[in-house]
């Protein structure tokens, strides 16, 4: 049965329009489309992207104005595609940019920062940014049911933010996700569907379901809005560096959207005069068992060859990445590069970040740290320039990756002799 788009809460508001988003625009042929649940060009099948009125934004969005606002993604709201006051994810974003001196020393570099979305609100990954924008838009468009195809963190965020927004949720995941990621969706009581296949199978199924049921699939039919949320990660890096873009950014890649949007964020800040210029090189970080984008970059071929993923970094296990080509293009345009790391290096990367900076990242973070290490050792990233590494998710969700690699506590009897004998070795 095909359900109609339900529009129960069309916002009636006296507030002035917040959005400076003009329309959707095809990335390839530049045709315009209305701001609806559309994502692909009818003429050339290109991706649709949100188009803004940058001249108007330039008049209102200044450094001073931004600094007066709440510490969340909506401080950049003119550059996000929500027309009225946002209703979902009001506390997402504005995570710490940590000056990582201990890790810098270990890696032999001068100026290193960790952009730490392992503590993003409310589900401890950068997906809370994209979901806040997607669900605010879905509510605005009148949807009462939201859905997604997920490698884990997106499922968590749509489940949680959708619960808080009172939305019905159908969440689709591959059957073999980490138990922490499954539980961290189930707790919010969505309709959680585990599909017997990998992410690319889940995504294909969801595209079919999205054609039949008029739900807001955050990363399918409202993907143009969803994807814009990632820009906030880039805006924050620049603001937190004192309104300066870093020289190097290492980004974990799944669909390629985050990397593409950090790059877009820098261009937008330049376009509206928030920064004068930037000279930033972008680097894609992927695990050996799923590296279609990094492989294309390293081999210098713009054809992204789909793969069958097999890696412990399940949040990055997308074998046929929707934005793979655009991520490739951004890296090449920036003069950056890519790394591919083994599962063993991923585990060592997680442990290194925890040991040096006290930050427990998920497997995707291990990919980023190991990739940064490799790129520095290869001399691709110079040791005396500013480097930001993107930590996008929390290690408590992927405990099985390191469970047998962290040792065990020392067991003692409840007395001082036992303590001195077994702990101090006296
Ligand atoms: C989804 C995800 C990514 C990659 O996101 P894309 O925008 O699809 O490339 C990176 N890290 C974590 C932890 C994620 O969940
Ligand atoms: Zn087109």
pLDDT tops 60 at residue 7: no
Q: Compute the distance from residue 26 Cα to the ligand 2 centre, in Å.
A: 5
Residue 395 Cβ inside 6 Å of ligand 1? The answer reads no
Angle, helix 231-240 to helix 257-271, in steps of 10 degrees: 50
Ligand with smallest separation from the Cα of 130: 1
Q: pTM of this prediction?
A: 0.95
* 170 SS3 class: strand
Closest-lying ligand 1 atom to the alpha carbon of residue 362? 13
Ligand 1 pocket test target in 255, 359, 368 with most atoms within 8 Å of CB: 255
Question: Burial, 166: exposed, middle or buried (Cβ in 10 Å; 0-12, 13-18, 19+)?
Answer: exposed
Ligand 1 mutation target, pool 177, 294, 297, 316, most atoms within 8 A of CB: 316
Average pLDDT of the residues of the chain: 95
Residue 10 has pLDDT above 70, yes or no: no
Q: Is 253 in the pocket of ligand 1 (CB under 6 A)?
A: yes
Which ligand number lies closest to the CA of residue 42? Answer: 2
- Give the model's confidence band at 18: pLDDT under 50 very low, under 70 low, under 90 confident, else very high: low
H or E element in which residue 269 lies: helix 257-271
How many angstroms does the Cα of residue 198 sit away from the middle of ligand 2? 29
Which residue's CA is minimally distant from atom 5 of ligand 1? 254
Write down the pLDDT at residue 14.
43
Q: What are the φ and ψ backbone dihedral angles of 329, each rounded to 5 degrees?
A: -60, -40
Ligand 2 mean position to 27 CA, how many Å? Answer: 7
Distance 367 CA to ligand 1 centre (A): 11
Q: Is 87 in the pocket of ligand 1 (CB under 6 A)?
A: no
Residue 390 has pLDDT above 70, yes or no: yes
Separation of 258 CA from ligand 1 center, angstroms?
Answer: 7
φ, ψ (nearest 5 deg) of residue 5: -65, 125
Q: Is 393's C-beta closer than 6 angstroms to any atom of ligand 1?
A: yes
The response to whether residue 398 sits with its C-beta less than 6 Å from ligand 1 reads: no
pLDDT of 251 over the 90 cut:
yes
Q: Taking residues 314-334, report their average pLDDT.
A: 97
Cα 143 to middle of ligand 2, angstroms: 26
Span 381-395, average pLDDT: 98
The confidence band for 1, taking pLDDT boundaries of 50, 70 and 90, is: very low
- pLDDT at 212 exceeding the cut of 70: yes
Could you tell me if the CB of 293 is within 6 A of ligand 1? Answer: no
The CA distance from 249 to 255, in Å, is: 17
Q: Ligand 2 centroid to 45 CA: how many Å? A: 6
Over residues 91-136, the pLDDT tens digits come to: 999 999 999 999 999 999 999 999 999 999 999 999 999 999 999 9
Position in ligand 1 atom list of the atom nearest CA 130:
7
**Residue 17: which pLDDT band, with cuts at 50, 70 and 90?**
low
Residue to mutate (ligand 1; options 153, 154, 200; most atoms within 8 A of CB): 153
pLDDT for position 299: 98
Ligand 1 atom closest to Cα of residue 253: 9
Q: Is the distance from the beta carbon of residue 363 to the nearest atom of ligand 1 less than 6 Å?
A: no
Expressed in angstroms and rounded, the spacing between residue 326 Cα and the centre of ligand 1 is 15
Q: Please give the span between the terminal C-alpha atoms of the chain, in angstroms, as a whole number.
A: 74
Question: What local confidence, expressed as pLDDT, does residue 120 receive?
Answer: 98
Closest-CA residue to 199 (of 151, 129, 139):
151
Domain annotation for the chain: domains and CATH numbers: 1-52 (no CATH), 97-123+227-401 (3.40.50.1100), 127-226 (3.40.50.1100)
Average pLDDT over residues 277-295: 98
Which residue's CA is minimally distant from atom 11 of ligand 1?
392
The DSSP element (H or E) to which 257 belongs, if any, is: helix 257-271
Q: What span, in angstroms and rounded, lies between the C-alpha atoms of 158 and 155?
A: 5
Ligand nearest to the CA of 259: 1
Q: Does residue 157 have a pLDDT over 90? A: yes
For residue 122, say if its preceding peptide bond is cis, omega within 30 degrees of 0: yes
Check if 315 has its Cβ closer than 6 Å to any atom of ligand 1. yes
């Amino acid at each position: 049965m095909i359900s109609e788009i339900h529009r129960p809460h069309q916002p009636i508001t006296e507030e002035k329009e917040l959005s400076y988003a003009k329309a959707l625009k095809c990335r390839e042929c530049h045709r315009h489309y209305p701001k609806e649940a559309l994502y692909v060009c009818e003429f050339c099948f290109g991706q649709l992207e949100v188009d803004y009125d940058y001249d108007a934004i330039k008049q209102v969005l200044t450094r001073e104005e931004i600094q007066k606002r709440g510490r969340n993604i909506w401080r950049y709201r003119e550059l996000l595609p929500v027309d009225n006051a946002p209703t979902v994810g009001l506390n997402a974003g504005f995570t710490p940019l940590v000056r990582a001196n201990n890790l810098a020393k270990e890696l032999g570099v001068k100026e290193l920062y960790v952009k730490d979305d392992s503590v993003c609100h409310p589900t401890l990954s950068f997906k809370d940014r994209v979901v806040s924008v997607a669900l605010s838009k879905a509510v605005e468009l009148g949807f009462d049911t939201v859905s997604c195809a997920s490698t884990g963190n997106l499922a968590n965020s749509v489940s949680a933010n959708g619960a808080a927004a009172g939305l019905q949720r159908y969440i689709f995941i591959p059957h073999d996700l980490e138990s922490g990621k499954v539980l961290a969706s189930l707790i919010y009581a969505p309709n959680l569907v585990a599909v017997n296949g990998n992410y690319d199978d889940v995504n294909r199924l969801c595209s079919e379901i999205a054609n039949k049921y008029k739900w807001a699939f955050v990363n399918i039919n409202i993907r143009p809005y969803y994807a814009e949320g990632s820009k906030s990660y880039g805006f924050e890096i620049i603001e937190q560096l004192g309104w300066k873009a870093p020289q190097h950014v290492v980004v974990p890649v799944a669909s390629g959207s985050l990397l593409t949007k950090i790059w877009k964020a820098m261009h937008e800040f330049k376009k509206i005069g928030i920064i004068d210029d930037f000279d930033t090189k972008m680097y894609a970080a992927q695990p050996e068992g799923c590296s279609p984008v990094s492989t294309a970059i390293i081999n210098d071929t713009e054809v992204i060859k789909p793969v069958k993923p097999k890696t412990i970094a399940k949040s990055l296990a997308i074998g046929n990445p929707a934005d793979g080509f655009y991520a490739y293009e951004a890296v090449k345009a920036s003069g950056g590069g890519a790394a591919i790391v083994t599962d063993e290096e991923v585990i060592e990367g997680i442990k290194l970040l925890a040991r040096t900076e006290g930050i427990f990242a998920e497997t995707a973070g291990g990919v980023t740290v190991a990739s940064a290490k490799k790129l520095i050792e290869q001399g691709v990233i110079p040791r005396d320039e500013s480097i930001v590494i993107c930590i996008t998710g929390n290690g408590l969700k992927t405990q099985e990756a390191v469970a047998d690699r962290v040792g065990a506590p020392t067991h003692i009897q409840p007395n001082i002799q036992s303590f001195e004998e077994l702990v101090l070795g006296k």
